Amino acid sequence: MSLSEAVAIPKVIADKVRSLSADLESYVVEKLLHELKLDPNDEARVHFELAEKYFREGSELVDKDSAQASEKLYKAAEEVVKALAYNLGLTEVLGRDRERGRWTVTDLEVVAREAARRIDEEIYIGWDRANYLHVWGFHEGKLDKEAVKERLPYIERMIKILREASQKRPPGNP
C-alpha cells in the first residue's frame, strides 16, 4: 500500500465538511480526484488503497468501538465498489459522479449489482452487509461487536475479489 501525506485541514473547513454529513478524508480525496482528472486505472488504484486502509482500520476497531468499526467497514466496501466502477468501465455512472462531484448510494448500488452480474455475486452480498453496518451499526448504533464481526468476512471477500479482478485486467484497460 502506498498511502502517504498527512495534511492539516483548518478546523472551520473540517467542521463545515462534517456539517454536510461527510467523512472528511473521503470528501477531500473525492474533490482531489475530481479536480486532478487522473487516468481511470489510477483512480481505481486510489479507491483500492482506501478500501484496504478502511478495512484494516475497521478490523482493528471491532473489539473497541463497534459503531466506528461499522463505519470503516462500510467505507471499505464503498471504496471497493468505486474501484469496480473504473475496472468495469461504467462510464455512465462515472460521468454522473464526476458531474456531481460526489457519489450517491443509488450509483453505488448500480455498480454493485453490475459487478455481481459480471464478476461475482459476492460483491453484491458484501455490499448489502456493508449497508447494514452503515445504517444499523454506525447511524443507529444498534450492533454489538459480534454482529459487526459476523459481517467482516463479507467485506474482506469484496477486497479479495477486487484484487483478483484488477490483476486479470489488461494494462491500460479501465
In tens, the pLDDT along 58-104 reads: 999 999 999 999 999 999 999 999 999 999 999 999 999 888 878 99
Pick the CATH number of 23-167 from 3.40.50.300, 1.25.10.10, 1.20.120.330, 1.10.3720.10: 1.20.120.330
For residue 132, name the pLDDT band (cuts at 50, 70, 90). Answer: very high
d(CA 61, CA 67): 9
d(CA 136, CA 159): 22
Determine whether 38 is exposed, middle or buried from the number of CB atoms within 10 Å of its CB (0-12, 13-18, 19+): middle
For residue 171, name the pLDDT band (cuts at 50, 70, 90). Answer: very low
**Does 117 have pLDDT greater than 80?**
yes
Note whether 72 and 159 are within 8 A (CB): no
Nine cell digits for residue 27 = 470528501
For CA atoms 131, 79, 62, 124, give the dihedral sign: positive
Count of beta carbons in the 10 Å neighbourhood of residue 81: 28
Taking the domains of the chain in order of start, what are their residue ranges?
23-167
Q: How far apart are the first and last CA of the chain?
A: 20
Nine cell digits for residue 9 = 485541514
SS3 assignment, position 103: coil
